[in-house]
């Protein structure tokens, strides 16, 4: 099995006097078509890891070590020009908050078309038609009318579908989804997970799914990596981790999921 993405010993710091690394010696692999769930609480470094892969980290955040091998090349040493050809076309990102990730003054059809034309995947005219097809692919009713809508005219679930359409426009082999359903109602979340699963099967894409919800991981992932304070403390096949987590922290996280609770009123420090 050759890995599609191979992250080796990634280290990230936020430059500040005496600051500890935010991501510390993180390594994982994703095979083509595979789903890896990256689980952790706020501040564990999971989103920073995702942004590092796409080299979207904002200063003072800085990658200080490691390699990110994607399709045989180290993304960390790629010229910015080549990196732009990777972002969106080979690796795309689905954000948590569709309202802030979409441009509020641009029709959604144009935003999908932009993803295609920016990578030379379609001419302007073809891109329009493709946008309608993509809206249809993410199961938006009446897509030929909806392409002309602005984001505020859509419901939260429909906005998230538009984001997925943009992310999939160039048929990238890898999609990074950063808490893609956290802001959604549970019924909409279920629809969205189902949609991502179906599209993944149709297009054969690999998924790096970042979440704090073990329930979502159980539904979606083949393998899980658990992050805590910048390190991966445990990884393995999803069934194995859910049934017999070996690391104490993983067991605590699992116990905290409502429905499997066993908590006590502890004093916070």
Partner 1 sequence: MPLLEVRGLTKHFVRRHGFFRPPSIVKAVDDVSFSIDEGEMFGLVGESGSGKSTTGRCILRLIEPSGGEVYFRSENVLSFSRARMRLARRDMQIVFQDPYSSLNPRMRVGSIVEEPLVIHGIGSAAQRRARVVELFGLVGLEPGYVRRYPHEFSGGQRQRIGIARALALNPALIIADEAVSALDVSIQAQIVALLIDLRARLKLTFLFIAHDLRLVENICSRVAVMYLGRIVEMGETRALFAQPTHPYTRALLSAIPVLDPDAPRQRITLDPSSFDRDAPLKAVGDNHWAAI
User: Contact residues for partner 1 (CB under 8 A)?
Assistant: 41-42, 156, 185-191, 193-194, 212-216, 218-219, 238-239, 242, 252-261, 263-269
- Residue 43 or residue 120: which is nearer to partner 1 going by CB? 43
**What span, in angstroms and rounded, lies between the C-alpha atoms of 142 and 139?**
9
**What span, in angstroms and rounded, lies between the C-alpha atoms of 166 and 172?**
11
- Residue 162 or residue 220: which is nearer to partner 1 going by CB? 220
> Where does residue 214 rank: exposed (0-12), middle (13-18), buried (19+ CB within 10 A)?
buried
Write down the least CB distance from residue 152 to partner 1, Å: 16
Positive or negative, the CA dihedral 221, 75, 63, 95 is negative
Write down the least CB distance from residue 43 to partner 1, Å: 9
Write down the least CB distance from residue 181 to partner 1, Å: 9
Write down the least CB distance from residue 235 to partner 1, Å: 16
Structure-derived torsion over alpha carbons of residues 137, 142, 148, 149, reported in degrees to the nearest 10? -90
What DSSP string describes 87-105?
A: BTTTEEEE-S-HHHHS-TT
- Residue 47 or residue 92: which is nearer to partner 1 going by CB? 47
**What span, in angstroms and rounded, lies between the C-alpha atoms of 244 and 129?**
49
- Residue 66 or residue 157: which is nearer to partner 1 going by CB? 157
């Amino acid at each position: 099995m050759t890995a599609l993405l191979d992250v080796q010993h990634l280290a990230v710091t936020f430059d500040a006097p005496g600051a500890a690394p935010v991501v510390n010696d993180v390594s994982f692999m994703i095979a083509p078509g595979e789903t890896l769930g990256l689980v952790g609480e706020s501040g564990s470094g999971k989103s920073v890891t995702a942004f590092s892969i796409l080299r979207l980290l904002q200063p003072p955040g800085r990658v200080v070590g490691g390699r990110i091998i994607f399709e045989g090349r180290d993304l960390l040493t790629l010229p910015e020009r080549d990196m732009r050809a990777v972002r969106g076309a080979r690796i795309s990102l689905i954000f948590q908050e569709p309202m802030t990730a979409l441009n509020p003054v641009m029709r959604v059809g144009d935003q999908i078309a932009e993803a295609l034309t920016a990578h030379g995947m379609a001419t302007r005219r073809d891109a329009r038609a493709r946008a309608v097809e993509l809206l249809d692919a993410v199961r938006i009713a009446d897509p030929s009318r909806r392409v002309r809508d602005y984001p505020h005219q859509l419901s939260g679930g429909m906005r998230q579908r538009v984001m997925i359409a943009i992310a999939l426009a160039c048929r990238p082999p890898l999609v990074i989804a950063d808490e893609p359903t956290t802001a959604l109602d549970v019924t909409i979340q279920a629809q969205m997970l189902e949609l991502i699963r179906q599209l993944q099967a149709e297009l054969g894409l690999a998924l790096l799914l970042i979440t704090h919800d073990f329930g979502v991981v159980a539904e979606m992932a083949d393998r899980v990596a658990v992050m805590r304070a910048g390190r991966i403390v445990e990884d393995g096949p999803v069934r194995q981790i859910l049934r017999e987590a070996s690391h104490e922290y993983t067991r605590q996280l699992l116990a905290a999921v409502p429905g499997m609770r066993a908590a006590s009123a502890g004093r916070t420090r």
